[in-house]
Structure 1
Amino acid sequence: MSQHQESKVKIGIAPIGWTNDDMPELGQEITFEQCISEMALAGFTGTEVGNKYPRDPQVLKKALELRNLEIASAWFSAFLTTKPFQETEVAFIKHRDFLYEMGAKVIVVSEQGHSIQGKMDAPLFDAKPVFTDEEWKRLTVGLNKLGSLAQEKGMNIVFHHHMGTGVQTTEEVDRLMEMTDPELVHLLFDTGHLFFSGADPLVVLERYRPRIKHVHLKDVRLDVAEKVKQEKLSFLQAVKEGVFTVPGDGDFDFAPVFKRLSETDYEGWMLVEAEQDPAKANPLEYAIMAREYIKKASGI
């Protein structure tokens, strides 16, 4: 990647490899300080917000500045398909203002109406939610409104397509992109969630590159993904089995992704997000492995 672009792209890592928000028992003994110290030690300059992070912006800023880290974004659960818009709006504004304080430029939004990602026994592929036309309308109209609210603060929303939700497949991403305003709703491109869903991430990258303003780098172990389908495992069981891992450790080829992002002058964060059981996959060891692989494969 060119020198110019290198300065425009930042490399971060999510805390989910240390402690899991959906399954707090994974990594529950790991403190916030250990987590962010190891991120810095592994060579990352940014992070997303986990459930152990202090919510007081001054406290959080100080802890991060000591380690030369910044907040890239944080996950927001929307319930646009199942609850009155007002409820999502109130929670979103609070979330937006916190991230604005922290200097983040994008807000990760995921639609959690009907989601099965947090259900331990719901088979991931068989019980996947499918939205009705009416729900699609509520979702996309609502997202346009959230996009406007974000832009009041000079920020953008990036939609996170996600396993176990109503926006998981390429077709569903297409529908979401088609029904939302390209000026208001942007896309979070997550290699792992697309690859696991059976999609070709490069197709989505190619199709929506101008709307992609945030990237999650996640690898997939295909043998585990196959087992998840065969044994009808849930999303959480899949994570525990090790379906996800850091870039370079699974079966996805990241080279074309880095190449395409480079050619199109991507600006923004690329974050490693690879939830595993920290008892099986030492977070620091895997973070270092990820950082070295990204440097080798992308030059950043």
Structure 2
Amino acid sequence: MNDIRIGINPISWSNDDLPSLGGEIPLATALEEGRRIGYEGFELGNKFPREPQALKSLMAGYGLAVVSGWYSGRLAERSAGEEIAAVESHLDLLAANGCKVMVYGEVAHAIQGEPVALYRRPQFRSPEDWKRYGERLDTFARHTLSRGVRLAYHHHMGAYVESPVDVDRLMTNTGDDVGLLFDTGHAFFGGADPLSLLERHIDRVCHVHCKDVRPSMVAMSRNRQWSFLQSVLNGVFTVPGDGAIDFAPIIARLRQHGYRGWLVVEAEQDPAVAPSYDFADKGYRTLRGLLGDTTTHEAA
């Protein structure tokens, strides 16, 4: 069990894409409450220091690990060399703080933060486009891995890699240096059965985001042509144990396969509607119970 650790993204307290959601909540509140619940680490958000030693000192003060951090990549529109130059300060921050993976989100032409319907997302139109993109990702991933940090590709609503077919094509057009961030909520919202998607690509999974979904909101988002942010505001996502996804077979399959890494609770919600501590606690207890330990590890 110790090979799998439970972390959380600060998005439960304050949202990077929608700063008005929880913008008034201090980072110290998130870190203290997360530690009290029992989380071992946090992914980064916009309130964290960006200087390696300052970040290390902050997290040490709470007894928390730095799990990883989102990187906004643009390999769909620029070269691997340009991306390698752009990532250096972020990669330095992660490597200096002991991170083994870097969350890569493709933001070129993405609409996840735009007030437009999700069907207008960008898509690669030909095998040549996929091949070119895969080659750039491979080169970029070799660079991050040379620093001890594996690229964890985040399939995401409103971006080039959203649907299960997109994930299949991404994995086909890249080598093993490109890891997959398996996100249960984005898998479901993107049209996949999460467990089936996991089964197909479990050898490449190097990081896991655990978010639950409310299927009625997924259906309404598609039918009413909501944007991604509208979907979030209307409650499409929630924490494990509060939605429709059965996490038991997912966690069991990861353990059976020998997954060693983080399970990260990451569920974009409005803390005014879904109180941060209560929902973070529910997500933790759900995952901890599935890992075989229902106790909450309160820090002294």
TM-score under structure 2 normalisation?
0.94
Is 1:180 matched up with 2:177?
no
Offset from partner CA, 1:172-218 (integer Å, 9 cap, x none): 11111001012x11101100000111211111211111111100000
Q: Does 1:213 align with 2:206?
A: yes
Residues 239-254 of structure 1 mapped to structure 2, 5 A cutoff? 239-254=232-247
SS at 1:110 equivalent: strand
After TM superposition, give the deviation of residue 86 of structure 1 in Å: 3.6
Partner of 1:24: 19
User: Do the aligned partners of residues 238 and 118 (structure 1) sit closer, same or farther apart at CA in structure 2, a change above 3 Å counting?
Assistant: same
Indicate which of 21, 37, 41 corresponds to 2:36: 41
2:8 pairs, out of 13, 24, 33, with 13
| Preserved CA contact (<8 Å) 1:114 1:165 | yes
1:81–1:136 CA contact under 8 A, matched in 2:
no
Q: CA deviation at 1:94?
A: 2.1
CA deviation after TM superposition for structure 1 residue 128, in Å: 2.2
Query: 1:69-80 alignment to 2 at 5 Å?
Result: 69-80=64-75
Match of 1:145 among 139, 144, 160: 139
Candidates 272, 276, 285, aligned match of 1:279: 272
Following superposition, the deviation at residue 56 of structure 1 comes to 1.9
User: 1:168: how far off?
Assistant: 0.7
Q: Distance in 1 between matches of 2:94 and 2:80?
A: 21
Q: Distance in 2 between matches of 1:11 and 1:146?
A: 28
Question: Counterparts of 2:93 and 2:54 in 1: how far apart (Å)?
Answer: 13
Give the aligned length: 292
Q: Is the 8 A contact 2:107 2:159 kept in 1?
A: yes
Residue 229 of structure 1: aligned partner: 222
Shift of 1:165: 0.6
Q: How far did residue 136 of structure 1 move?
A: 2.1
Other-structure match for 2:61: 66
Question: Which residue of 93, 97, 103 corresponds with 1:108?
Answer: 103
Q: Bigger shift: 145-154 or 157-166?
A: 145-154
CA distance in 2, matches of 1:267, 1:161: 20
CA distance in 1, matches of 2:51, 2:28: 15
Question: 2:196 and 2:271 mapped to 1: Cα distance?
Answer: 32
Secondary structure in 2 matching 1:11:
strand
Residue 132 of structure 1: how far off its partner (Å): 2.8
Query: Are residue 202 (structure 1) and residue 195 (structure 2) matched?
Result: yes
Alpha-carbon distance in structure 1 between the residues aligned to 2:266 and 2:245: 14
Q: CA deviation at 1:19?
A: 0.9
- Distance in structure 2 (CA, Å) of the matches to 1:101 and 1:15: 20
Matched-pair contact (CA < 8 Å) for 1:78–1:111: yes
Cα displacement string for residues 24-58 of structure 1 (whole angstroms, at most 9, x for unaligned residues): 11111011111111111111001111000011222
Match of 2:129 in 1: 135
- Is structure 2 residue 251 aligned with structure 1 residue 258? yes
**Conserved in 2, the CA contact under 8 Å of 1:40 and 1:67?**
yes
CA-CA distance at 1:83 after TM superposition:
2.9
Name whichever of 102-111 and 60-69 sits farther off. Answer: 60-69
TM-score (norm 1): 0.94
Counterpart residue type for residue 18 of structure 1: W
Question: Contact 1:92–1:146 (CA<8 Å) still a contact in 2?
Answer: no
Q: Is the 8 A contact 1:255 1:298 kept in 2?
A: no
In structure 2, the partner of 1:3 is: none
Specify the code of the residue in structure 2 equivalent to 1:157: L
2:159 match: 165
Residues 80 and 137 in structure 2, CA contact (< 8 A), matched pair in contact too: no
Q: For 2:178 and 2:80, locate their aligned partners in 1 and report how far apart those are by CA, in whole Å.
A: 16
**Identity across aligned pairs (percent)?**
43
Match of 2:298 in 1: none
Q: Which runs of 5+ in 2 are unaligned?
A: 294-300
In structure 1, runs of 5+ residues without a counterpart are 1-5
Q: Equivalents in 2 of 1:151, 1:61: separation in Å?
A: 21
Alignment partner for residue 89 of structure 2, among 69, 90, 94?
94
C-alpha separation between the residues in 1 aligned to 2:64 and 2:81? 34
